[in-house]
């Protein structure tokens, strides 16, 4: 049995920029902005950082393929910096590197940074890019919404859900996230919308309309982690502790094994969730997890993820959603900060942004959107790739 990272690592400082179309900023200034907040929060000096991880999803749009841009932007004291890239799970994977270093005793204080400067492409949506020479010969060069939209039809077929019912549940996901985002001063999209706006929007990739898709944003988020003992020495008497981090990576089974995966769920998320709950000691997530931040790149992703995290029963998430179970005042609020949908989705930063929100909520520091019932255990789920081949990352933090 692996020993895991439960309670071995404390988060002592976090920072997150305002997400959005940051026309005046580049990756450097975004990283500095996030770091300034985190380092003030942690009350540590930059010279105390022993190692750092830099998560960036799109090289060509940003910083280039190394850890140098982070070391340079923050003038780190020549410590080791690794660049992490794992599609949209990049932010969590950057956090994982820092947490592992501290848990292993290799670093006393480590930094995880995620940043993305997307709004230099000249168009909306994610940059179009190659996924390798072999893929380019025989893979589908579809868009992100096109890839994720494909869960809908198998889900409908498997669970006997009508096109209209699923569309309404998906729309509820977006309406809820817009309501939450409106209360978040750092969110990219801060406008409440009604369900008809979602249902009547132009189709991007059937059945996803414009409002089923998350914002594409610039932004950065970071975490400073250390041991619980050092956290205590720094004056953090009740620090937020890492309860588990699990990644699960597709090995080609979904993509290649005929008759296997049915297309209606995320195989990796179920594996990562099972392991994460075991590592954190969670036996009934529906009653034990107080709030969740999931990878709602598209409304259908959030919907299916509620089942893959074993919070909704299989085939029932759409009903839970319509019942308000995941609303900000529901039993398990999901995307209380607006999520990728409205907080925004700067790829490399997103996983750390989710942890940032959970970190604030656990400490009662989330302002107008603070959950009133003193949450103690929070989960974030960060997903990269496409339903058929992806990296799924789950982090559970708690007091």
Partner 1 sequence: MSESGILSYGAYLPRRRLQRQSVFAANRWFAPGLRSLAKGERSVANWDEDAITMAVEASRACLGDLDRANIDAVTLASVTLPFVDRLNAGVVKEALNLRDDVTAGDAGGGMRAGTTALRIALEGSQRCLCIGADLRKSRPASESELLQGDGAASILVGEGAPIAKLVDSYSVTVDFVDHFRATGEQFDYRWESRWVRDQGHMNILADAIGVLLKKAEAAPDQIEHVVFPVAAGGVAKAIAKKIGIRKENVVDHFGAQIGDIGVGHPLLMLTHALERAKPGERILLAGFGQGADVLLFEVTDAIIDYKPHLSLDAQIENRVADENYMRFLSHRGLVKLDRGVRAELDQKQPGTTLFRKRSAVLGLMGSRCSKTGTVQFPKSEISVDPNSRAIGTQEDYPLADRTARIVSFTADALSYSPDPPTFYGTLDIDGGGRLATEFADVTADDVEVGRPMRFVFRIKAEDEQRHFIKYFWKAVPENGGRV
Nearer to partner 1, 217 or 328 (CB): 217
Residues that bind partner 1 (CB under 8 A): 121-123, 125, 128-130, 133-134, 136-143, 145-147, 149-154, 156-157, 202-206, 251-253, 255-260, 262-263, 387-388
Burial of 293 (0-12, 13-18, 19+ CB in 10 A): buried
- For 62-108, give the DSSP string: TT-SSSHHHHHHHT--S-EEEEE-BTBTHHHHHHHHHHHHHHTTS-S
Instruction: Report the C-alpha gap between 31 and 69 in whole angstroms.
Output: 9
Shorter beta-carbon distance to partner 1: residue 257 or 313? 257
Which CB, 338 or 387, lies closer to partner 1? 387
Instruction: Pinpoint the alpha helices (H) of 104-204.
Output: 133-138, 144-149, 152-159, 163-181, 195-199
Closest by Cα among 325, 335, 322 to 366? 335
Distance of closest approach, residue 67 Cβ to partner 1, in angstroms: 27
**Taking the complex as a whole, how short is the minimal distance between the CB of residue 274 and partner 1, in angstroms?**
16
The length of the chain, given as a count of residues = 399
Name the token pair of 154: 């198998």
Of 136 and 284, which CB lies nearer to partner 1 in the complex structure? Answer: 136
Give 112 or 213: the residue with its C-beta nearer to partner 1: 213
Least distance to partner 1 from the beta carbon of 129, Å? 7
- Which is nearer to partner 1, 41 or 296 (by Cβ)? 296
DSSP 347-383: HHHHHHHHHHHHHHHHTT--GGG--TT---EEEEEEE
**Nearest residue (CB) to partner 1, 143 versus 249:** 143
Contact 111, 222 (CB under 8 A): yes
Buried b (16+ CB within 10 A) or exposed e, 347-380: bbbbbbbbbbbbbbbbbeebeebebeeebebbbb
Nearest approach, Cβ of residue 255 and partner 1 (Å)? 6
Minimum CB distance to partner 1, residue 37 (Å) = 34
Instruction: Kindly state the smallest distance separating residue 315's Cβ from partner 1, in Å.
Output: 15
- Give me the least distance between CB of 128 and partner 1, in Å please: 5
């Amino acid at each position: 049995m692996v020993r895991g990272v439960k309670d071995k690592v404390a988060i002592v400082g976090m920072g997150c920029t305002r997400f959005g179309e940051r026309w005046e900023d580049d990756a450097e200034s975004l990283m500095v902005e996030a770091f300034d907040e985190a380092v003030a929060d942690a009350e540590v000096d930059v010279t105390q950082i022993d190692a750092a991880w830099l998560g960036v999803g799109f090289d060509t749009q940003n910083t280039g393929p190394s850890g140098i841009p982070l070391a340079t932007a923050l003038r780190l004291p020549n410590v080791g910096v690794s660049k992490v890239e794992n599609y949209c799970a990049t932010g969590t994977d950057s956090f994982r590197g820092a947490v592992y270093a501290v848990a292993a005793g290799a670093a006393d204080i480590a930094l995880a940074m995620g940043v993305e400067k997307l709004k230099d492409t000249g168009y909306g949506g994610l940059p179009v890019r190659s996924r390798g020479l072999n893929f380019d010969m025989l893979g589908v060069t579809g868009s992100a919404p096109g890839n994720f939209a494909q869960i809908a039809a198998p889900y409908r077929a498997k669970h006997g859900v009508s096109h209209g019912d699923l569309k309404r549940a998906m729309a509820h996901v977006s309406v809820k996230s817009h309501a939450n985002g409106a209360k978040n001063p750092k969110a990219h999209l801060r406008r409440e919308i009604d369900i008809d706006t979602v249902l009547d929007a132009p189709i991007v990739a059937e059945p996803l309309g414009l409002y089923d898709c998350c914002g594409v944003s610039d932004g950065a988020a970071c975490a400073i982690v250390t041991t619980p003992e050092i956290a205590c020495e720094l004056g953090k008497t009740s620090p937020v502790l890492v309860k588990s981090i699990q990644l699960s990576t597709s090995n080609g089974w979904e993509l290649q094994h005929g008759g296997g995966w049915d297309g209606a769920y995320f195989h990796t998320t179920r594996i990562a969730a099972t392991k994460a709950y075991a590592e954190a000691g969670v036996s009934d997530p529906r009653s034990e997890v107080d709030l969740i931040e999931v990878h709602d790149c598209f409304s259908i992703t959030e919907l299916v993820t509620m089942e893959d995290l074993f919070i909704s029963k299989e085939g029932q998430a759409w009903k839970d959603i319509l019942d308000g179970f995941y609303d900000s005042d529901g039993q398990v609020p999901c995307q209380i900060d607006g999520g990728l949908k409205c907080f925004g989705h700067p790829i490399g930063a997103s996983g750390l942004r989710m942890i940032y929100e959970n970190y604030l909520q656990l400490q009662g520091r989330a302002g107008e959107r603070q959950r009133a019932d003193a949450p103690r255990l929070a989960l974030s789920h960060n997903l990269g790739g496409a339903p058929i081949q992806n990296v799924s990352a789950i982090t559970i933090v708690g007091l």
